[in-house]
Amino acid sequence: MATISASWCIAFCTTPLNPKKLLLANHFVRSSVFHSNHVFKMPNKLTSISSTSSSFEFNLAPPPIDHDLLDTMVDLGAKVSEEGVVETFGNDDEAIHAAYEGVAVVDLTHFGRIRVTGEDRIQFLHNQTTANFEGLSEGQGCDTVFVTPTARTIDIAHAWVMKSAITLVVSPITCRSITEMLTKYIFFADKVEIQDITKQTCFFTLIGPKSNQVMEELNLGDLVGQPYGTHQHYSVSGTPITIGVGSVIAEDGFSLLLSPAAAGSVWKTLLSLGAVPMGANAWERFRIFQGRPAPDRELSDEFNVLEAGLWNAVSLNKGCYKGQETISRLITYDGVKLKLYGIYLPAPAEPGIPITKDGKKVGKLTSCAVGREANEHFGLGYIKRRTASDGDKVLVGDIVGTLVEVPYLVRQTPLTKISKT
């Protein structure tokens, strides 16, 4: 079987491919591991059913196809918004259950994807965001946070450091503003280019404890157990796909960045392996259950990055970067005043409602969704650190709620004046 050379510069076929011929269950052709010169071959049973004679460097223009991803989703029962967002498959509760007990696959193609290229790309993002990009190698990844000069939050970005680019996955509502902001900060001598590749790519995530099993079924088990952000490049019948460890919402699960030409076939293959489709509505509920902050909710100019609990995405020993001075002072002088909690509620509550305890205002509700159980709702809210703790009762408006720690934030490791990363 022919192998495919490793390269981030994703290749599209010079001959348009019919998506019906792109993929059968388990028909992945694996390219060489990104950070290695060694070339791996897939077993014969996973051989591609089609091949191409030539390719050219990724030019951010998908090949013409006669049946796009949204058509596939509609055929599978999805409700799609006018903006092209897959809202639901009519199975929201089932999908959320799968995310906890099995495996769910989510189409996050509406999320933003930004490609940063040029010789100075690592130093540039090192200075513009909170993570230590200079400490990462090809094939690795991390979460990083875009903040204001006073460390107020804009968005969390999931970053993959590739051979000749860094790819950032951001929220749909911030992609344009972040792209414009990054472009604005490119100085004359900087060798950096910023490209919004959202419309030229698709993006899926696999979430749930059986995600590893799906990867094994695809003969991609070598990614299982690798550090968060680790990613490798593959090919599906000649079209590119990059798969990384982590599901945006958690450090487990997997993310898939792929060509639109292969997206529908890959989606169907994942369903054939037992993944339950999840739409954006269920994803938003699951986000709230997990406690991952989102723009215009928990991430805004009202709250700083440490109040949002995003400790794992922050570095203090990498030198100067936007917001670094404020973050350093907050840690040095124990100045973090708020903490983000989950809140069990017996009834719905409107985000923005004040939270009180013992007759005093202690915080504000930022998100709320229907819970997993009947007559249950679940919210996220900022609470003054020294006024309440896990298990305490609070009033959200006039509704009694119970504070709980949430999984996404429990995994964060607070920095101290002694242990700075």
pLDDT digit string (tens) for the chain, length 421 residues:
333 333 333 333 323 333 333 333 344 444 333 233 222 333 333 333 222 333 333 344 444 444 489 999 999 999 999 999 999 999 999 999 999 999 999 999 999 999 999 999 999 999 999 999 999 999 999 999 999 999 999 999 999 999 999 999 999 999 999 999 999 999 999 999 999 999 999 999 999 999 999 999 999 999 999 999 999 999 888 888 999 999 999 999 999 999 999 999 999 999 999 999 999 999 999 999 999 999 999 999 999 999 999 999 999 888 889 999 999 999 999 999 999 999 999 999 999 999 999 999 999 999 999 999 888 999 999 999 999 999 999 999 999 999 999 999 999 988 764 444 5
> Which residue in 100, 109, 110 sits closest to 172, CA to CA?
110
Quote the tokens at residue 228.
């968060």
Measured distance CA(323)–CA(312) in Å, rounded: 16
Query: What is the maximal distance between C-alpha atoms in the chain?
Result: 72
Tell me the CA distances in angstroms from 80 to 205, 252, 285, one per residue in order: 18, 27, 18
Fold held by 337-411 = Elongation Factor Tu (Ef-tu); domain 3 (2.40.30)
Give the pair of three-digit tokens for residue 10.
């994703």
Residue 342 has a CB neighbour count (10 Å cut-off) of: 24
Taking the C-alpha atoms of residue 403 and residue 407, their distance in angstroms, rounded to an integer, is 13
Would you tell me which CATH number, out of the four given (3.40.50.150, 3.30.70.1400, 3.30.1360.120, 3.40.190.10), belongs to the domain 69-109+201-290?
Answer: 3.30.1360.120
Q: Is 76 helix (H, G, I), strand (E, B) or coil?
A: coil
User: ∠ CA(98), CA(100), CA(106), 5° rounding?
Assistant: 55
The letter for the amino acid at 371 is G
Stretch(es) of the chain classified as CATH 3.30.70.1400: 112-199
Nearest to 72 by CA among 104, 107, 111: 107
pLDDT value of residue 356: 98
Residue matched to tokens 């997206």: 263
CB burial readout 152-174, b (16+ within 10 A) else e: bbbbbbbbbbbeebbbbbbbbeb
**Whose CA is closest to 255, among 202, 200, 203, 216?**
203
CA distance 285 to 367: 9
d(CA 292, CA 369): 13
Tokens of 313: 């995405």
166: phi then psi, degrees, rounded to nearest 5? -120, 125
Alpha-carbon radius of gyration of the chain? 22
Q: Give the number of other Cβ atoms within 10 Å of residue 90's Cβ.
A: 12
User: Which sign, positive or negative, has the C-alpha torsion 316, 318, 319, 321?
Assistant: negative
CA angle 105-106-108, nearest 5°? 150
Structure tokens at 23: 């993929």
Which ranges of 296-404 does DSSP label H, i.e. alpha helix?
324-332
| Superfamily holding 112-199 | Aminomethyltransferase beta-barrel domains (3.30.70.1400)
Q: What CA–CA distance (Å, rounded) separates 101 from 93? A: 12
How far is residue 232's CA from residue 240's CA, in Å, rounded to a whole number?
11
Angle, in degrees to the nearest 10, between helices 92-101 and 280-290: 40
CATH 2.40.30.110 location in the chain: 337-411
What SS3 string covers 200-228? HCEEEEEECCCHHHHHHHCCCHHHCCCCC
pLDDT of residue 57: 37
- Which pLDDT belongs to residue 130? 96
End-to-end Cα distance, the chain: 45
Cα–Cα distance measured from residue 333 to residue 318, given in angstroms and rounded to the nearest whole number:
20
**Looking at the chain, which residues constitute the CATH 3.30.1360.120 domain(s)?**
69-109+201-290
